[in-house]
Structure 1
């Protein structure tokens, strides 16, 4: 097989996996036009259309789906073989792509990125922080981070640090017209932001004390899925917010926010890094996992 043949096949596999010429070009480190040219050359050479293209989407033809199914294991083996060379290097080499929610990425990844690169100068980290629900396989990520252990079949989950804790906060201006709540039951008399998952479903504020767990479901006029916005609403003085304690800490320390119900704070939540069970774990991903578990 010629080198050009392998390059064209690699371009096709990248586009087929991502369903995007742009994301395939980012993965391959070339321009989108170069990827498009390689795939077109492959289709011309085999005499069969492999991809359906529109201005908004890319999909596989039946022939393309069959070819991808047969090529994927081979390219996975090639990737594993190249990654095996890391045992002859002092530090891992290559890119690791990780998806994480906006709300937790700064607390989880922020402290480890600098040391990881310093200790592994041949490692390249690509972090995409979004609260959008992401299929890490379809979008070409090596791993994802999420709260909770509920994952689809075929995924392996690893507990990572830090464990995160929720906190109820409000501004001094808000408490000029409202009494500070001392128990979760007191929240019934307050204006509270409703917390949403990225899917749009609401989740309760959870509290725990002396082995007793209480859930409070706000009915306030504001519903948000972003902790930055929740903090902004609390700072504005119109409502209480239930946010990551680490996110609100600077405002609490400065006096711009007041923490409530600290004795009732919910138990710390575990975060999980997850990846496809059958996928080869690269040396780069292993050092990332080790750093996040330390």
Structure 2
């Protein structure tokens, strides 16, 4: 029996972990037909079926589970050894995939990415900005970036930035014709710029003060799904928007917007980068987190 190659074994692990030939092929930089051929060849060499395949799903056989359980720690130790040698000489290689919301990816591009790529030219950064919260492991990402309250509890999380708050904001022109509300319930008498969440639901504005918390389904003739567009609509005098403070900061500083209900807008945990505690964190991810920490100290 010819022995399986390391490439064969990594191909099997990718398919077994992600339960998808398409996703595994994309991550490995292979065509699906080449990956399928490699898996068939591995099964022939071992004389055992490792994967159950249908047109809709992929699952691991009992023999495949046994192999996967033995391979995982072995390849983890091998990867660690190789990464330590390469990292010691500034020669990290490979692709680092990170999923985050638009604000998080924009922050990385401004503060971390240029320095990181200059330091590690062998690493390819694949940054995906999307509003919906995804299963980073199932979708093949090395890490995710979200507000602290949205990070799954079973993940390792590293703070990316300071606490933030959502602010209710409106233009001086709007407030000239509509006196600013003093309490959240008074929003019922205003035109509000509502927000559509990635799930399709409308966001209920959340307020808190001295232990009292409120969630309000505000009225309004305009609904948007992008915080930056909501800020622009508020600047134009369309109504009151409720957005993360960084989006509105420039317009607040130059007077195009005014913050209202500030005492009802407490700070919440800011952005965190997170990854699975059950999977090996590649050296490129550890280096990226170090770069984030360096940027935060400046």
Offset of 1:125 from its aligned partner? 1.5
Q: TM-score, normalised by structure 1?
A: 0.79
Q: Say if 1:75 and 1:197 are closer, same or farther in 2 by CA, change over 3 A.
A: farther
Greater CA drift, 217-226 or 12-21: 217-226
Partner of 1:166: 166
Deviations 1:88-108 (A, max 9, x none): 313543332212123433234
1:190 deviation in Å?
Answer: 1.7
- The correspondence of residues 13-24 of structure 1 with structure 2, limited to 5 A, is 13-24=13-24
Deviation track 1:153-211 (CA, whole Å, cap 9, x = no partner) reads 54222222154332223356755653334554542322334556655584543356xx7
* Aligned counterparts of 2:89 and 2:2: Cα–Cα separation in 1: 29
Asked if 2 retains the 8 angstrom alpha-carbon contact of 1:103 and 1:226, the reply is no
Verify: 1:124 aligned to 2:124, yes or no.
yes
2:50 counterpart of 1:50: yes
Q: 1:156 aligns to what?
A: 156
Distance of aligned partners of 1:231 and 1:35 in 2 relative to their CA distance in 1, 3 Å threshold: farther
Residue segments in structure 2 that go unaligned for 5+ positions in a row: none
Tell me how far apart the structure 1 counterparts of residues 136 and 62 of structure 2 sit (CA, whole Å).
23
User: What is the DSSP-based 3-state SS (H/G/I as helix, E as strand, rest coil) of the residue aligned with 1:191?
Assistant: coil
Identify if the C-alpha distance between structure 1 residues 263 and 286 changes in structure 2 by more than 3 Å, giving closer, same or farther: same
Distance 1:242 1:192 in 2: 8
What is the root-mean-square deviation in Å for CA atoms of aligned residues? 3.4
> Contact 1:180–1:260 (CA<8 Å) still a contact in 2?
no
Distance change >3 Å, CA 11–CA 193, structure 1 → 2: same
Aligned equivalent of 1:258: 257
Q: Give 1:9 shift.
A: 1.7
Change (3 A) 1:93 1:47: closer
What does residue 218 of structure 1 align with? 217
Q: Decide whether aligned partners of structure 1 residues 205 and 192 sit closer, same or farther in structure 2, where only a CA change above 3 A counts.
A: farther
Task: Say which is worse superposed, 135-144 or 51-60, in terms of deviation.
Answer: 51-60
Residues 138 and 76 from structure 1, CA distance in 2 versus in 1: closer, same or farther, beyond 3 angstroms? farther
Shift of 1:280: 3.5
Cα offsets for 1:1-54 (capped at 9, x unmatched): 967532222111111222222322232223232212111222333344333334
Is the Cα–Cα contact under 8 Å of residues 193 and 239 in structure 1 kept in the other structure?
yes
Residue 98 of structure 2 is matched in structure 1 by 98
Matched length? 291
Shift of 1:226: 4.2
Partner of 1:39: 39
Equivalent in the alignment of 1:65: 65
Equivalence for 1:205: 206
TM-superposed CA distance for 1:286, in Å, is: 2.0
Corresponding residue for residue 113 of structure 2: 113
1:17 touches 1:140 (CA, 8 Å); kept in 2?
no
Whether contact under 8 Å (1:98, 1:141) holds in the other structure is yes
Q: Distance in 2 between matches of 1:77 and 1:120?
A: 22
